[in-house]
Structure 1
Amino acid sequence: MRAMLIVNPHATSTTPSGRDLIGHALSSTLSVRLEHTQYRGHAAELAAEATAQGFPLIIVHGGDGTVNEVVNGILGAPQEGLLRSLPVGAVPTLAVIPGGSANVFARSLGIEAEPLDAVNQLIDLVRRRQHRRIGLAHCDGRWFLFNAGVGLDAHVVKAVEKGRARGKTASPGRYIRSTIRTFMRERKLEPALTVTVPSGQTFSDVYFAFISNASPWTYIDERPVVTNPGVDYNSGLGIFAMQSARWIATLRVARQIVFAKDGPRHKKLVRVDDVPTVTVSASRPTGLQVDGDYIGMRQTVTFHAVSDMIDVMAPPE
């Protein structure tokens, strides 16, 4: 089988020797064309090229941002308001070899965390022709895989990306410290967000909103952080939105998303699982992130879930 291997050489946990081993191992089973990304957006261009040339498999070695680019390159821009599956035709199957700092998408699918272990797992999946069909979500003209956010987490991602540009590692500790600093700054502001669901129900005075297409929302080292346990790649979207910035309420909910088995609950928490769309509007420009990539400032964003969009090489659900 032909496969294009798209590698982000600047991803957190990729190394030249590791990339060589991965390419050599994959070549024992697949006819591999290796491509390295050279700039932001290049992975999407390479994925679009591979799709146009009829590659049946695209393998990504990089972090969640690189995987997001590849999916957008494969599928092209989503149609606004799209709520159902499209006839996708000869769309390549997607495979992921983790290479970033969090690797949320790969881990949520049961992909091995160590790159070489993931390669061996992938070879076995290819030989057994084992894959899964999953749903995606989109907003602001861009597909996303597992989560998006308006407010706090977007501003944290922006801060961490600035640190990476200065050579600082995007470690879990750095994300936690940035989250605390950002929260302390933003809790002094008036809540700017309003969340609206298809039933017409509206939740105002929201400080930040997380939108999930899968669970967990992210990981802290090996521990999953679960905001919406009723959401997966076969369901609609999950909403997690806080209407309080008080320390006691925030710390209680923060503890629940890390330790509670049945998900977080609080009178100041808006938590809705399995909705087809959700709109978040803001009284002032507020940050938007998708799959851990900062997109920019927005005032109104509508998120859509779309079922059965792409095949991924992964163990059984």
Structure 2
Amino acid sequence: MVNPKATTTSERSRDVLVRALRSEVDLSVRYTRRRGHATTLAREAAQEGVDLVVTLGGDGTVNEVVNGLMTATPPAGAAGATVAERLPALATVPGGSTNVFARALGLPREWPEGTSMILEALRLGRHRTIGLGRADDRYFTFCAGFGVDAAVIHRVEEARRRGRVSTPALYFRSTVAQYFLGSDRRHPAISLDRPGEPAEEELATIIVQNTAPWTYLGDREVNPNPEASFDLGLDVLALRQLRVASTTRTVTQFFARQPDPHGRQVLRLHDVAEFTLFARRPQAFQLDGDYLGEREKVRFTSVPAALRVIC
């Protein structure tokens, strides 16, 4: 499944990739034509009993494919087969600007090296089964955001629609603009509810991770929740206030060689099965780096052992 707008590949490189994959598997190529198209194609593939879905694109393409797979009704498998065993396995060739999901799986950043690693895994029958996150009725692979980080992504997406190139500098400028000009930093509006636990209230912004790192700035890992894992539940980092000094200190901790964000304004939760976020006023919301508008309530759940991936 190919996103023809993948930012780090050309038509020629896509042809090379297709020939390489066809040397190992019986391959049918589908091109995405619009937002959401990859979800439809992946769901159809799963329902037709396809064994493997390969994506060439960025994290947005991967997210759409995962949602297509997870909402499909696959053919009945062998007796006792799990849902993950009945669904197609997923192989992700990095073709976007950041490729957080592929890199979190240990794949190289560039698509030629990533393709070689996938071909080797196919020859050896190597795969792993990972957990996913779900926010209301939509799945995510590596992260979600409620508040400032989602608003930053919205700014970046708007800049890209105006022709700007996605770079670490663009994200930095968008973060500074959102922090100083776009956030109500003095009135935290979010609360977090977990079953059987007291509610955490007066939270300013929240990052949810299904794996680590949260994202990359070039080759630099950004790690709000460094213990997050595909093999565990969800990890949460929330800031109670967005004061300049404490926020700067916390963000600096994200980049440490051994990151351990902490402080009076920091709330961290590890390996959480489910929780719900409520907001007194609408908050920006993102999944896997894709801005999804504003919400006042989102229910998060961890979905263990959900999908087989080739890596």
TM-score with structure 2 length normalisation? Answer: 0.94
| Post-superposition offset of 1:188 | 4.2
> Distance between the aligned counterparts of 2:205 and 2:255, measured in 1?
18
Match of 2:119 among 120, 123, 127: 123
Match of 2:53 among 45, 50, 58: 58
Moved more, 181-190 or 54-63: 181-190
> Distance between the aligned counterparts of 1:274 and 1:290, measured in 2?
18
Which residue does the alignment assign to 1:211?
208
Q: Percent identity?
A: 38
Which residue does the alignment assign to 2:269?
272
Does the alignment pair 1:235 with 2:232?
Answer: yes
Does the alignment pair 1:134 with 2:133?
Answer: no
Q: Is the 8 A contact 2:142 2:211 kept in 1?
A: yes
> Distance between the aligned counterparts of 1:222 and 1:266, measured in 2?
27
Match of 2:104 among 102, 108, 120: 108
* 3-state SS of 1:284 partner: strand
> Distance between the aligned counterparts of 1:188 and 1:312, measured in 2?
40
Which residue does the alignment assign to 1:288?
285
Which residue does the alignment assign to 1:301?
298
| Post-superposition offset of 1:202 | 1.9
Match of 1:220 among 199, 204, 217: 217
Q: Is the 8 A contact 2:185 2:241 kept in 1?
A: no
* 3-state SS of 2:30 partner: strand
* 3-state SS of 1:12 partner: coil
| Post-superposition offset of 1:198 | 3.0
Amino acid at match of 2:239: M
| Post-superposition offset of 1:90 | 2.1
* 3-state SS of 2:86 partner: coil
Q: Is the 8 A contact 2:276 2:299 kept in 1?
A: yes
CA-based RMSD of the aligned residues comes to 1.7
Match of 2:187 among 174, 177, 190: 190
> Distance between the aligned counterparts of 1:139 and 1:74, measured in 2?
16
Tell me the alpha carbon deviations over residues 260-303 of structure 1, each in whole angstroms, 9 at most, x when there is no partner.
51421111101111111121110011111000111111101111
> Distance between the aligned counterparts of 1:18 and 1:233, measured in 2?
30
Which residue does the alignment assign to 1:82?
none
> Distance between the aligned counterparts of 1:71 and 1:131, measured in 2?
16
TM-score with structure 1 length normalisation? Answer: 0.92
- Note the residue ranges of structure 1 that are not aligned, 5 or more in a row: 1-5, 79-84
- Note the residue ranges of structure 2 that are not aligned, 5 or more in a row: 74-80
Q: Is the 8 A contact 1:77 1:143 kept in 2?
A: no
Aligned residues: 303
> Distance between the aligned counterparts of 2:264 and 2:291, measured in 1?
29
Which residue does the alignment assign to 2:167?
171
| Post-superposition offset of 1:144 | 0.4
